[in-house]
Structure 1
Amino acid sequence: MKLVVVTAGLTQPSSTRLLGDRLGEAVAQAVTQAVTGRAEAAEVETVELRDLAVDIANAFVTGFPNGRLRAAIETVTAADALIAVTPIFSGSYSGLFKSFFDVIDNTALTGKPVLIAATGGTARHSLALEHALRPLFAYLRAVVVPTAVYAASEDWGGGRDAFTDGLGERIERAAEELAALLLHRVPRRAEPEAVVPFEQQLAALRPGEPD
């Protein structure tokens, strides 16, 4: 199973990348716990949009993504599930985040499980997840999990337990939802079908012999 984290943080290090890492780790752990005794596991890969900013701008000018951007797009579209994390500016997702998904074909994410998340300086911008990010991925025909995760500056001081860290609880709940969708979507290895001899197939097509 391939899980891809798309993060649009502009600084390095960034809280956006940190949130993406925590979500990716939580989903991988939830998948592992759900498939105990089976061979499935989640491989997590991160796409840093900060490193692709110039490539994305050039794609808008030329109409074609270069090799590095094309590879990132293929990574995202081939994933079994996505975690999409953006900083919130002026009550909405960042321009870099939106531009990346603008260069992806609007049918490429059809049916793909997606967990949306965002970071910001104040909790007042948390509704951007519902009025900006969720409609964006609905337009792209993705399947967005019910729990969206927002991390304000004050959320990073928690002790990562159920009593002092609301962020940790939201991450765990969202991770379990995405893991459930991921496991439901990824097809299990089918048993090989029995081969029916040609003579037997032909005999089934002949009219019955008279008594």
Structure 2
Amino acid sequence: MKERTIAVVSAGLTTPSSTRLLADRLTAAVRDDLDGRGIPYRVVVVELRDVAHDLTNNLLTGFPSKELAEVLESVVRADALIAVTPTFSTSYNGLFKMFFDVLDDQALAGKPVLIAATGGTERHSLVLDYALRPLFTYLKAVVVPTGVYAASSDWGTGAANLHARIARAATQLVDLLGNDQPTVADPYADPIPFENLLNS
């Protein structure tokens, strides 16, 4: 069976960070699911704070450094992506946006993506559907139905609910990953001639 590569992108700004903690929990759940199905895999973790200066320089010059180019390539070549950001002003943070801005807008086409975010309060959980999901839809990725948002309370009394959401999202990602067929059919691959549309 083909080995799958999972890229994990974490946009946390501090060390340690709840964003990286959530990324690690999601990765562990995906690993467990892959192990359970006997699917071989490897995981590549990208901490965006480590390439923050390179991202800025790339936006200014249009050219990535060698280190950033390798990071971008690892994400593009991965079979699936776990993307996690802290919530800033009800959206993803600037570092997260910069990273996906420098990717070609076709680079993630058809790639399964698990989206996740952290924040101080449950009130910002809509960041998943109003910011992250539209971003990856624009990039033509296949976003799993369950996004995972972790508020501060989820690390304490809400841990059981968070664990259930993580497990569900991980299963959905692996369901897509385990499918050897293309995850998205190209709707323009075999267009109907215009004159046939008029006759129908």
TM-score (norm 1): 0.82
Instruction: Find the residue that maps to 1:180 and give its secondary structure.
Output: helix
Distance 1:75 1:149 in 2: 23
Instruction: Report the number of matched residues.
Output: 179
Q: Kindly, what percent of the aligned residue pairs are identical?
A: 60
Query: How far apart are 1:42 and its partner, in Å?
Result: 2.2
Task: Give how far 1:185 is off.
Answer: 3.8
Conserved? CA contact 1:84–1:114, under 8 Å? yes
| Aligned mates of 1:126, 1:116 — CA distance in 2 | 12
**Alignment partners' CA distance in 1, 2:111 and 2:157:** 32
Q: Secondary structure at the match of 2:179?
A: helix
Aligned to 1:14: 17
What is residue 34 of structure 2 aligned with on the other side?
Answer: 31
Aligned to 1:85: 84
**Does 2:168 correspond to 1:173?**
yes
**CA offsets per residue over residues 83-142 of structure 1, 9 Å max, x none?**
000000110000000110000000010000000000000010000100000000000000
1:69 maps to what in 2? 68
The whole-number CA distance in structure 1 between the counterparts of 2:14 and 2:103 is 24
* TM-score, structure 2 normalization: 0.87
Q: Which runs of 5+ in 1 are unaligned?
A: 188-211
CA distance in 2, matches of 1:182, 1:29: 14
- Mapped pair 1:5 → 2:35: no
RMSD of equivalent CA atoms: 1.3
CA–CA distance in 1 between the matches of 2:83 and 2:19? Answer: 10
* Compared CA separation, residues 147 and 159, structure 1 to 2 (3 A): closer
2:173 maps to amino acid: L
Match of 1:205 in 2: none
Report the CA distance between 1:32 and its aligned residue.
1.3
Residue ranges of structure 2 left out of the alignment (5+ in a row)? 183-200
CA contact (8 A) 1:16 1:119 kept: yes
**Moved segments of 4+, more than 2 Å:** none
Aligned to 1:151: 150
Task: Decide whether the 8 Å contact of 1:87 with 1:120 is kept in 2.
Answer: yes
